[in-house]
Amino acid sequence: MPSQCSTMQYSNLSQGDLSNEEWKELCQLKRAIDDGPAAVAACKMERFTELFVRTLYGKGDTMRV
């Protein structure tokens, strides 16, 4: 069975806010994971995590500069 994903890529977390396309992708991945996590390729789960973490950037920071 051929792999659904290409080689792992690391992105820079300082890319800022998600674009509209990235928000749509995040929502689609969340629905797929909610519906059946076993059916979602590991690289797609990693992509979800990458996008989700970017939505958290700066939230919960307790230091005031």
Domain with 50 in it: 19-56
8 Å CB contact between 65 and 30 = no
In a domain, 44, yes or no: yes
Give the pLDDT of residue 2: 44
30 in any annotated domain: yes
Q: Return all residues near 63 (Cβ < 8 A) that are at least 6 apart.
A: none
Query: What pLDDT does 46 receive?
Result: 96
Within-domain flag for 36 = yes
| 29 within some domain | yes
The dihedrals phi and psi of 60, each to the nearest 5 degrees, come to: 85, 0
Q: What is the pLDDT of residue 27?
A: 97
The pLDDT assigned to 65 comes to 58
pLDDT in tens, 8-65: 555 555 567 899 999 999 999 999 999 999 999 999 999 999 999 999 877 776 666 5
**Domain total for the chain?**
1
